[in-house]
Amino acid sequence: MVACPSIALLPSERQTRLGFRAGFQLDRTAVEESLDELKLPPEVSNGLREFVESAQLALGPDLVSLVLFGSAAEGRLCATSDVNVILVLSRFDPARIDTLREPLRLARATIRLSAMLILESEVASAVEAFAVKFADIRERHKVLAGSDPFAALTPSRGAMLVRLKQILLNFVLRTRERYVLTSLREEQLAPLVADAAGPLRSAAALMLSLEGRPAASPKEALETLAAELDAAGWGEPLANLSRAREDASLPSGAGGPTVLYLIGLAQGLRARTEKLG
């Protein structure tokens, strides 16, 4: 695999090559402390450390903050998890962005890093437009560099309700199609089940929050609502959901029934959401 050029160069050489302003310094100590707190697998910590350094060097004063979110920010990475980051920028300068291309490609290949690049001026609008996603990010994020762009931002209740209904309906429609396409091949159902964890758990967490009884985690939120909607039958399907996400596998014959159960659960959650306003 091709090594990342920004990692191979000495700090002074990197700054000269990338055209940095004199005096630009990396806060490596803060990054190390943040990563140590998360207790991630060593290869993930190393990959994140290198990417943060490359991003700070490449973007310089244009980088407002670099934020880790999702399961990695909780130290709960699973076999199917991406490592999700947000880069908040003061401006999108192609000359600087181009120097980040190879580090991002390398991080994507080695630690499954997925990066959202957003301008500082776009954050408030994005929080409102993608209310469920950013409500989850606000609850589960770790600042690796710069300031915290989400500390004081909360989507409006109306935006959260609209987006919650959209996500659940989209999940039902999309999962039905994927079930038809993949259910003849049992080995293809585990990824489908694993992919359901993110939207369903995030939706459940937001729903309980809107009801005034937030859960300790999105996983717990989904279990709570599933038990309330289906007291007798929720245990095995949600255990299969966790297994697919954590191990990328399912018991023989469990894929189809689990997918169908999750579709029904999403429908039940959507009906419940209608009562929230």
- Whole-model pTM? 0.69
Q: Which residue has the higher pLDDT, 175 or 71?
A: 175
Instruction: Name the helix (H) or strand (E) containing 272.
Output: helix 255-274
Q: How high is the pLDDT of residue 154?
A: 82
Q: Which residue has the higher pLDDT, 132 or 268?
A: 268
Q: Is the dihedral of CA 166, 168, 169, 173 positive or negative?
A: positive
Task: Show the DSSP H helices in 9-156 as ranges.
Answer: 11-18, 28-38, 42-59, 94-98, 101-111, 123-129, 131-139
pLDDT digits (tens, 9 = 90+) for 240-263: 999 999 998 999 999 999 999 999
Q: What is the mean pLDDT of the chain?
A: 87
Q: How high is the pLDDT of residue 6?
A: 34
Query: Is residue 200 predicted with pLDDT exceeding 90?
Result: yes
Q: How high is the pLDDT of residue 26?
A: 55
d(CA 24, CA 2) in angstroms, rounded, equals 27
Q: How high is the pLDDT of residue 19?
A: 36
Q: How high is the pLDDT of residue 147?
A: 87
Q: Which residue has the higher pLDDT, 232 or 12?
A: 232
d(CA 82, CA 64) in angstroms, rounded, equals 23
Nearby residues of 28 by Cβ (< 8 Å), 6 or more positions away? 53
Q: How high is the pLDDT of residue 79?
A: 75
Phi/psi for 78 (5° steps) reads -120, 175
Q: Are 150 and 67 in contact (CB under 8 A)?
A: yes
Confidence band of 21 (pLDDT split at 50, 70, 90): very low
